[in-house]
Amino acid sequence: MTVDYHIHAVGHGDRKHTKNEIKPFIEKAVELGLMEIGFADHDWHLSDIDMDNYKELRREYSNIKIRVGLEFEYFPDQVEKIRQVIHSNNFDYTIGSVHFLGNWNFDHLDYIKEYENWTTENFYIKYYETLLGCIETGLFNIAGHLDLVKIFNYRIDAQKALKLANPVLDEIKNQEMVMEINTAGLYKPVKEFYPSLDIIKLAVEKNIPLTISSDAHRFEDVGRNNDMIRRILKDLGVKWIAGFNKGIMHELPI
């Protein structure tokens, strides 16, 4: 029994937000025996989302908790706008993520040539500086795919990467946030979940709450490798994972 807290009902805008489109995601979660499913589309799709669909689906699927959040893209000059969106909506939770450095969408294959303009170490430094700014806003419940920086398998020394991640983890702890373990990286060039096992171990040492996510953009991908992550967490001594209801964290058996 577990959760999947990072699911994109409208994908990249390729689906309408209708009950018939959402149902397969829920039914896949039920099939897998998940306790809770969390829908968190990208913030730029907010106008496409009909919250009434979730209200009706909650009544229809009483055998699973359906949570609704939003994945926010952090831009330093958009903090007040993000704050207003959060305060104007009744989300169960929010995810803070970094996919952009300035105007560069670094995790998109179409823009991979931009990597030629960076040293790998400077790219990592800039990413973690930006991510730290995201966490410091105090606006988000969950830190999304913490080391997305490695998506195309550009690597720095593991200890250097861990050193860069450490202050971000400290701020996650300070802000009483949750860190997600996101399995989508297993299907990217890096072929590794986000964040790395080293970062997960450090987060566990710091007693940072964790949750599990697939980052599914298709219903077939709901709960991908969830059991593997649960086994890893159990081996690390983790007893529970985090869920949210109306912005309040609760503990769920792993």
* Per-residue buried b or exposed e for 223-245, using 16+ beta carbons within 10 Å of the residue's own CB: bbbbeebbebbeeeebeebbbbe
Query: Model-level pTM greater than 0.95?
Result: yes
Confidence (pLDDT) at 11: 82
CA distance between the termini of the chain: 7
Lowest-confidence segment of 45-49, 128-132, 241-245 by average pLDDT: 45-49
d(CA 9, CA 14): 10
Taking only the tens place, the pLDDT of each residue in 217-254 is 999 999 999 999 999 999 999 999 999 999 999 999 99
Cα dihedral 65, 68, 74, 77 sign: negative
Is pLDDT above 80 for 13? Answer: no
Taking only the tens place, the pLDDT of each residue in 58-67 is 999 999 999 9
3-state secondary structure of 15: coil
Residue 110 sits in a domain whose CATH number is 3.20.20.140
**Average pLDDT of the residues in 100-129:** 97
| Contact by Cβ (8 Å): 246, 229 | no
| Enclosing domain of residue 202 | 3-253
Number of domains composing the chain: 1
